[in-house]
Amino acid sequence: MPTYRKFIFVCNGSDCKKSGCKNLQSEIKELIKSEDHKGKFKIIKTKCMDFCKSAPVVVINNEVIKKADLTDLKKKML
Ligand code: FES
């Protein structure tokens, strides 16, 4: 089993789905396939994390990213 450096938790609750979490998740998947990130990250889909008003919500490095977008996440993945 690969050893991941970080886990990326992507909320898949209903409000986050309405706010584009599926697209965001696809973008993250593409990003972590790149040479810089290959094998270092694992995406975990979660249920609602109770930050629905700030959807889409992602947790990385134990930090809750509200209204997450790929630009925010790239900074956190360094
Ligand atoms: S649906 Fe994502 S935080 Fe509630």
Task: Indicate the domain borders of the chain.
Answer: 6-76
16 lines ligand 1 (CB under 6 A): yes
Domain 6-76 has CATH 3.40.30.10: yes
**Ligand 1, atom 1, residue with closest C-alpha:** 13
- Residue 6, C-beta contacts closer than 8 angstroms, at least 6 positions apart: 40, 41, 42, 60, 61, 77
73 Cα to the center of ligand 1, angstroms? 17
46 Cα to the center of ligand 1, angstroms? 9
The length of the chain is 78
pLDDT digits (tens, 9 = 90+) for 48-68: 999 999 999 999 989 999 999
pLDDT computed for residue 1 by the predictor: 61
58 lines ligand 1 (CB under 6 A): no
- Please choose, from the candidates 26, 27, 21, 33, the residue with its C-alpha nearest in 3D space to the C-alpha of residue 58: 21
CA distances to 1, 2, 56, 64, 71 from 24, in Å: 26, 24, 8, 15, 11
Question: Residues in the chain with pLDDT < 50?
Answer: none
